[in-house]
Amino acid sequence: MTTDINLFNSMDENAWCPGCGNFGILNALKEALSELDLKPHEVLITSGIGQAAKLPHYINVNGFNGLHGRAVPPAVGAKIANKNLKVIVNTGDGDSYGEGGNHIIHNIRRNIDITHFVHDNQIYGLTKGQGSPTTAKGQKTTLQLEGVKVDPFNPISFAISLGCSFVARAFSGDKEHLVYVMKEAIKHKGYALVDILQPCVSFNKVNTYRWYKERVYKLDKNYDCTNKEEAFKKAFEWGDEGIPIGIIYKEKKSTYIDRTPQLNSKPPLINREWKPVYAEKFMEDFI
């Protein structure tokens, strides 16, 4: 059984640049949710700020736009409140690895059962092309006119070293493979981080579709994604030597909810009576 993919279509006007790699991610995500037979009301997508963070507007599921770098906290709160909800963080490399890096660290430690898709275009697209945490050292940008002077952040080695229970990389230019990786990440029980290589056609003239297609390669079927030592080796492959895509590391471990008996029966909000007046009081506290 699959859900009609058209149920995930949004009526909101799309503001992405023509040819943006975000379109491939959006289309793949709709297909993945459809093939997993998930319904729009069963899914929540959270994001921060940025071009990638606009995705919740362009897909018909529950959505939450947070502050810059703050996409993970609402996702964690929603999952704790309703463990039956499929919760997906869908935001950019700057939003995730820069402003939001600290949230990733500690929720990987918790192994909260959410899926984190990072649109990694190696640039800050919304603010017109400044270097992001993953921009290559020496690469010239609209702000770093003499080239980026710091080493790039490696999200794959970072996640593996923290004990992330699912670490993968995909490419928005290979939809079939991206759908497969997304489905595996969503089905995984625990924190799943997927770094998605996503060309920015307007502000990153180095990491283009052609650049990626000449370098990415799919992990061999015989590759053992449970071998952490081999996973670390793959994490450091980059550039002309090849860029591996696929499930790089995976392990089974208990989730945060498994480790917290109070959360393991019914979601907290179901264990108590709620009335509209409670919501009114809650909102008054913020005024």
Give the number of other Cβ atoms within 10 Å of residue 159's Cβ.
27
What percent of the chain shows pLDDT beyond 90?
A: 81
Give the model confidence (pLDDT) of 240-279 as tens digits: 989 999 999 999 999 999 998 877 766 655 556 667 777 7
In whole numbers, what is the pLDDT of the chain averaged over residues?
Answer: 93
Report domain extents, the chain.
Answer: 5-258
Classify burial at 221, counting beta carbons within 10 Å of its beta carbon; exposed 0-12, middle 13-18, buried 19 or more: exposed
d(C-alpha 248, C-alpha 152), whole Å: 19
Give the model confidence (pLDDT) of 134-158 as tens digits: 999 999 998 899 999 999 999 999 9
d(C-alpha 122, C-alpha 115), whole Å: 21
> Residue 199: pLDDT above 90?
yes
d(C-alpha 219, C-alpha 225), whole Å: 9
pLDDT at 222: 95
Question: What's the topology of domain 5-258?
Answer: Rossmann fold (3.40.50)
Q: What is the pTM of this model?
A: 0.92
